[in-house]
């Protein structure tokens, strides 16, 4: 087994470090105190930091986010855990219609982080497996982050907590305890930068753009394409709002062929927005149409085999990439 920290341990470490260095930071959410959270992210935190900084809440997402907004307006830095991000819809109004707009309405800072598990692949079904990012990516005033590695989970969560305005931090639950993803984490002084993508694999024949857990399927696909002699670049967005347009457009210019893969559904997924930006800015550098590999336009199935058919798989990415290369 690789040494180092898992994704979920990276999230724990980021929270622990920020609680330790800034008395304004506190956590709130369902079952995060005595129980330690549904996924045990905050296990033991209450004993260490006390009841006033690790706060159990009722099952009331609108109330949780509303209370966090009020605390932020008094100068605190709340970090809200939503047990499953699917249920963030219950707090939609507070986050999108209030928190996101305070800066624009009267210059008020709302330094809150809303974090929790998203995504599928674990048999959670339609109410515990959704990709909810696009509801919030289109809301001005909210940053959206979806790290794919333990190191990024740590440094980007620290950056999110220090940001002066609302950040939605999406942790893919299928990555939480993946032993193959263990990494040595950066030390406490390293803070990430929101809005910056990362190249996970170099290549000049094709670029695959993705984020979250899908990045790892893209890397597997790139290795398979390498057997065909295709140099495949894998670009991990990391930050979904704002996007790193500079790195995205540079990759298109250098590779000429673009495949976008994400776990979210096809209609109105991020691939459509990315394709529009590419067409508007670097169309003349394209050697083929921008193609996308996404989930189907259905709710996430409970059945494991149906869920596998619903979600993009490595072979789907490879097949579409080969179509692009042959174009």
Q: Could you read off the pLDDT of 220-279 as tens digits, one per residue?
A: 999 999 999 999 999 999 999 999 999 999 999 999 999 999 999 999 999 999 999 999
pLDDT of residue 2: 64
Q: Copy the structure tokens of residue 279.
A: 């067409």
Q: Which of 16, 48, 103, 128 is catalytic?
A: 128
On whether the CB atoms of residues 213 and 119 are closer than 8 A, the answer is: yes
Angle at 234 between CA 123 and CA 230, to 5 degrees: 115
Q: What is the pLDDT of residues 282-306, one digit of tens each?
A: 999 999 999 999 999 999 999 999 9
Q: What is the pLDDT of residues 17-32, one digit of tens each?
A: 999 999 999 999 999 9
pLDDT of residue 3: 78
CA-nearest of 8, 166, 202, 173 to 73 is 166
* 42 pLDDT above the threshold of 80: yes
Q: Is 216 a catalytic residue?
A: no
How far apart are alpha carbons 63 and 98 in whole angstroms? 13
The mean pLDDT value for 161-181 works out to 97
* 91 pLDDT above the threshold of 90: yes
CA-nearest of 257, 253, 235 to 322 is 257
For 90-114, the DSSP string reads: GGHIIIIIIGGGHHHHH------EE
Q: Which residues contact 286 (CB under 8 A, 6 or more apart)?
A: 252, 256, 257, 258, 278, 279
- As its CATH architecture, domain 198-326 has 3-Layer(aba) Sandwich (3.40)
**Strands 232-236 and 198-201: what pairing?**
antiparallel
CA-nearest of 201, 205, 196 to 218 is 201
* 158 pLDDT above the threshold of 60: yes
Q: Where are the domains of the chain?
A: 7-181, 198-326
Domains 7-181 and 198-326 share a fold: yes
Left (φ > 0), alpha (ψ -120 to 50) or beta: where does 30 sit? Answer: beta
Whether CATH 3.40.50.970 fits 7-181: yes
Mean of per-residue pLDDT scores for the chain: 97
On whether the CB atoms of residues 262 and 131 are closer than 8 A, the answer is: yes
On whether the CB atoms of residues 85 and 130 are closer than 8 A, the answer is: yes
Global confidence as pTM: 0.97
The mean pLDDT value for 43-59 works out to 97
DSSP character at residue 299: P
């Amino acid at each position: 087994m690789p040494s180092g920290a898992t994704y979920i341990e990276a999230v724990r470490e980021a929270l622990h470090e920020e609680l330790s260095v800034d008395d304004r930071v506190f956590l709130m959410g369902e079952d995060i105190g005595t129980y330690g959270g549904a996924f045990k992210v905050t296990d033991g935190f209450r004993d260490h930091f006390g009841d006033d900084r690790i706060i159990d809440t009722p099952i009331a997402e609108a109330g949780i986010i509303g209370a966090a907004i009020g605390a932020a307006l008094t100068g605190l830095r709340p970090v809200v855990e939503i047990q499953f991000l699917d249920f963030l819809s219950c707090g939609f109004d507070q986050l999108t219609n209030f928190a996101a707009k305070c800066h624009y309405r009267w210059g008020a800072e709302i330094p809150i982080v809303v974090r929790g598990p998203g995504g599928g692949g674990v048999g959670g079904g339609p109410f515990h497996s959704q990709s909810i990012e696009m509801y919030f990516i289109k809301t001005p005033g909210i940053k959206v982050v979806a790290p794919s590695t333990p190191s990024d989970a740590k440094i980007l969560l620290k950056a999110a907590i220090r940001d002066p305005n609302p950040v939605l931090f999406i942790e893919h639950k299928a990555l939480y305890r993946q032993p193959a993803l263990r990494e040595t984490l950066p030390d406490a002084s390293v803070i990430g930068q929101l809005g910056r993508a990362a190249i996970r694999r170099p290549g000049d024949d094709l670029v695959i753009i993705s984020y979250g857990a899908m990045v790892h399927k893209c890397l597997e696909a790139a290795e398979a394409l390498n057997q065909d002699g295709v140099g495949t670049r894998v670009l991990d967005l990391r930050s979904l709002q704002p996007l790193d347009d500079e790195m995205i457009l540079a990759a298109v210019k250098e590779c000429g062929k673009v495949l976008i893969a994400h776990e979210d559904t096809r209609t109105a997924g991020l691939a459509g927005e990315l394709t529009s930006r590419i067409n508007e800015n670097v169309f003349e550098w394209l050697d083929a149409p921008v193609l996308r590999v996404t989930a189907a336009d259905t709710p996430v199935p409970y059945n494991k085999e149906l869920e596998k058919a619903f979600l993009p798989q490595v072979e789907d990415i490879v097949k579409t990439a080969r179509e692009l290369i042959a174009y």
